[in-house]
Structure 1
Amino acid sequence: MEEINIDEADLRLLDLLQNDAARSNQTLAELAHLSPPTSLRRIKRLRSLGLIEREVALLSPDRLAPLLGHGLTALVEITLERQGAEQLEAFEAHVLPDRAVQQCYRVSPGPDFVLVVHTADMPAYLALAQRLFTGYANVRNVKAFFSLKRAKFDPRLPLGHNGPGPHPPGPPAR
């Protein structure tokens, strides 16, 4: 794997982008204390390095609920009968293409996987469970927890700043 080197200016840009990727390059440059051409060059490099996977819009479930229904979010623990590398990869390949699976984590200790799934309602969850778990021969145990309220959802990664409050601005880049 290629060695990746980033500096404080790159971290500032990454932090700004993960907070609001819709900002103009001019605004990002100002906030990151960079010139616009430097900002653009650095962002292009961060993308090419794979540090920025993709940029998406985060939708508001509460605002969409009157239009689409609240839906059902579940955190699902999956334990497999056999946990060899081949079986673990096969299960991932089985569940990842399903649009209802929003997140999939291989975990330890305890279950082998934790999935975050979103379906329209309980009958849709039952169909998902039958499609992905019940009919899959290597699944030993399924334990689902249904969300009553989403208290926090933040996809941002902490980049050197821990604790409450906004990320303090860094020094200007050279």
Structure 2
Amino acid sequence: MPANLDDTDHRLLDLLQRDSGRTLAALGELVGLSPSAVQRRIDRYRASGLLLREVAVLDPAPALLAVCLVTLDQESPETHNRFREWVLAAPEVQQFYNVSGEHDYVVILATDDMRQHRETADRVMKNAPHLRRYSTMFVLDPIKTTLAVPTRGR
């Protein structure tokens, strides 16, 4: 996070993370700026790389979410690269993290139902290169999901 953000920047970034579909006028009203001043700040966020993209966030409630904990059979850059390429090619992969500790990766799969999950797990996980083992936990109740990043204290 750039160090030169003022209070208005933090408020504006928070609002954009919650709903980037608001008009410039509505955003300006909420942060005390004109629509053109809001646009200049948003343009600055984009130019600096702070604002990567704006996306539509769908309700994940209809999806079956599965958290897969993955351990690879080897520790080498080539092994990890092959595994990453394999997993990234699957559209059902919603999130994908390289982690520390007992496991090497956490993969979040989003499918329509259990049948599709089994097909996806067979295709993506069981056939993945250099897979030693994986275990799956199904999300029973997504208590909190967000893409928002805190803008202060970084």
Shorter-chain TM-score category?
0.7 to 0.9
Query: Mean alpha-carbon deviation: is it higher for 144-153 or for 30-39?
Result: 30-39
Per the TM alignment, residue 19 of structure 1 is displaced from its structure 2 partner at its CA by 1.0
- Partner deviation per Cα, 1:55-76 (whole Å, 9 max, x = no partner): 12222244xxxxxxx4421001
- Partner deviation per Cα, 1:102-129 (whole Å, 9 max, x = no partner): 0001100121110111112222112212
Matches within 5 A, 1:1-174: 4-8=2-6, 9-62=8-61, 70-160=62-152
Q: How many residues align?
A: 152
For residues 135 and 61 of structure 1, what CA distance do their matches in structure 2 show? 26
Per the TM alignment, residue 81 of structure 1 is displaced from its structure 2 partner at its CA by 0.8
Name the % identity.
Answer: 36
Residue identity matched to 1:81: D
Gapped regions of structure 2 (runs ≥ 5):
none
For residues 3 and 141 of structure 2, what CA distance do their matches in structure 1 show? 40
Residue identity matched to 1:111: H
- Partner deviation per Cα, 1:40-66 (whole Å, 9 max, x = no partner): 01101211222222212222244xxxx
For residues 100 and 60 of structure 2, what CA distance do their matches in structure 1 show? 30
When the two structures are superposed, what TM-score results if normalisation uses the length of structure 1?
0.78
Gapped regions of structure 1 (runs ≥ 5):
63-69, 162-174
Pairwise CA RMSD: 2.0
